[in-house]
Amino acid sequence: MEQAGDWRELLRVYIASPQERLRVANVLGVRPITLARWANGESLPRQRNLHQLIAAFPPADRATFIALLERDMPGFGAGLVEELEEPVEVVDIPVEFYRRVLQTRATAPGSLNRSSLCDLILQQALKHLDPHRLGLGISIARCLPPTNDEPVRSLLIDMGRGSAPWEPNMAGETMLLGVESLAAYVVISGYLVAIANLQEEGNRYPASLAAWEQSVAAAPIAWEGRVAGAFVVSSTQINYFTPQLQQLVSDYANLIALTLHPEQFYDPQHIRFGLFPSQQEQGAHIAVRFRQLLLEILKRPGTSQQYIGVIQAEQLVWQQIEKELLQ
């Protein structure tokens, strides 16, 4: 690849594989044909696309790519190699944010409290953990309350946020997780796990990955030795989670714990995760069943028509879907 005559030629080699072309296009939030047009000289990427494009290159080839870009665009790459190879500079969670979270917890209407707090924290964490917009997906996997005295059987991901290539509100990521997941492992083990390279064989931890997911970190959401779920962060970059970023993931997990009620935490001895189908299989099932079941419950004569009733109804729906999906 070092023999490439210009940056377009290097790009052509790099995206020759359809899978790689699709992965890079997803990371940049453009169509694969757009990449081909850049490589063929039919159009020019914008500055912000170039930044992401460089980040998507294997670290070993970045300097060459930037040097070739410099020939066409003098001054473009000044300091860029150093910037991209430097670990993300990490600052602590600002005090303004703690204040905002605690104030919201104190004042938001009960019906909005949990969802608003989680939304606020996820949006903050997304920007904080991915300041260069290299691609991050973050979600809260929370223990689905069991029916009666049964143990907890699953983790529910019903809220997430992402930067490209993930969808902004991770709408397609809603699912139940069990023993097959990294999140479940973290909940049971009680400590943070970071996987530097998901493509490497021999990873000791179970993890399901999106096509563009290269590394992941997950931290337990715990309180007084009990656990409510896991905070899961996935990146498009290999080796993304430096010790400082892992600490930040852990800090956000602790902040999430502050927003939950005591009854949302479970003794690990009362958790027995089941096995759940792949995200793809679940997606089709959930897309059909979730609204159908929710409407059935909400329209049932005598159902409380308060907003809190909708939250309770959603929980009943997830408990039913859990039964249907448990393998």
The answer to whether 286 and 321 are in contact (CB under 8 A) is yes
Rounded to whole angstroms, the maximal C-alpha distance in the chain is: 74
> Which residue, 207 or 321, is less far from another protein as judged by CB?
321
**Minimal distance in Å, beta carbon 183 to another protein?**
21
> Which residue, 172 or 206, is less far from another protein as judged by CB?
172
Q: Which of 120, 175, 253, 256 binds another protein (CB under 8 A)?
A: 120
Is residue 107 at the binding interface for another protein, with CB under 8 A as the rule?
A: yes
- Alpha-carbon dihedral angle through residues 18, 21, 27, 28, given to the nearest 10 degrees: -140
Is residue 251 at the binding interface for another protein, with CB under 8 A as the rule?
A: no
Footprint of another protein on 283-302 (CB under 8 A)? 291, 294-295, 298-299
Q: Which of 37, 133, 272, 285 binds another protein (CB under 8 A)?
A: 133
> Which residue, 130 or 213, is less far from another protein as judged by CB?
130
C-alpha pair distances (Å), 284 with each of 10, 173, 208, 280, 288: 39, 12, 17, 7, 7
Is residue 211 at the binding interface for another protein, with CB under 8 A as the rule?
A: no
Starting at the edge strand that comes first in sequence, how are the strands of the sheet with 136-143 ordered?
Answer: 175-177, 155-162, 136-143, 226-235, 215-223, 193-195
Span from 117-125, 207-215, 228-236, 275-283 in contact with another protein (CB under 8 A): 117-125
Is residue 171 at the binding interface for another protein, with CB under 8 A as the rule?
A: yes
Q: Which residues contact 92 (CB under 8 A, 6 or more apart)?
A: 248, 251
Is residue 201 at the binding interface for another protein, with CB under 8 A as the rule?
A: no
**Minimal distance in Å, beta carbon 109 to another protein?**
6
- Number of residues lying near another protein (CB under 8 A): 41
Pairing of strands 226-235, 193-195: unpaired
Element (H, E) at 223: strand 215-223
Is residue 310 at the binding interface for another protein, with CB under 8 A as the rule?
A: yes
> Which residue, 96 or 201, is less far from another protein as judged by CB?
96
Q: Count CB neighbours of 300 within 10 A.
A: 9
Q: Which of 43, 169, 239, 278 binds another protein (CB under 8 A)?
A: 169
